């Protein structure tokens, strides 16, 4: 079964510093990986995805993620954190269930707090 793990429940970073939110995955076959962000009382918003190609994927709001096949990781990064980046971040992997049915399997989430 496909799965992702987010080893940190919470990450604290000072405003202006670089941030990293970690994700590791376990899949059979080629991984399709995603990052979503969730603000309080809001739905999940898509940030970026990795399908194939360059290992460094750029997404919304200045975020990027680095795919590392040997370490089975897909860490989310941003060079300079903003207070407004404070939110819940979810890593996800696409799971194929047969008959053309795809769904996303999510990690437990990491709460990012950017300290002014």
List contacts with other proteins (CB under 8 A). Answer: 32, 34, 36, 41-46, 49, 51, 90, 92, 94, 97, 99-109
CB of residue 24 vs other proteins: minimum separation in angstroms?
Answer: 14
CB of residue 97 vs other proteins: minimum separation in angstroms?
Answer: 5
Token pair for 33: 């990986």
The position carrying tokens 């950017």 is 114
Which residue number, 14 or 69, has a Cβ lying nearer to other proteins?
69
Angular region, 97: left φ>0, alpha ψ -120 to 50, beta rest: alpha
Which residue number, 16 or 42, has a Cβ lying nearer to other proteins?
42
CB of residue 55 vs other proteins: minimum separation in angstroms?
Answer: 16
DSSP string across 65-91: EEEETTTTEEEEEESS--GGG-EEEEE
CA gap 13, 19 in Å, rounded: 7
Residue 69 DSSP one-character state = T
CB of residue 112 vs other proteins: minimum separation in angstroms?
Answer: 15
Which residue number, 15 or 96, has a Cβ lying nearer to other proteins?
96
């Amino acid at each position: 079964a496909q799965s992702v793990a987010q080893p940190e429940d919470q990450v604290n970073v000072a405003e202006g510093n670089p941030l990293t939110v970690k994700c590791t995955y376990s899949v059979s076959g080629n991984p399709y990986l995603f990052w979503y962000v969730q603000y309080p009382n809001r739905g999940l918003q898509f940030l970026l995805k990795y399908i194939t190609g360059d290992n460094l994927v750029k997404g919304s709001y200045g975020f990027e993620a680095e795919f590392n096949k040997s370490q089975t990781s897909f860490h989310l990064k941003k060079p300079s954190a903003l207070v407004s980046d404070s939110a819940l971040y979810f890593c996800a992997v696409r799971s194929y269930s047969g008959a053309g049915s795809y769904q996303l399997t999510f990690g437990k989430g990491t709460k990012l707090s950017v300290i002014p």
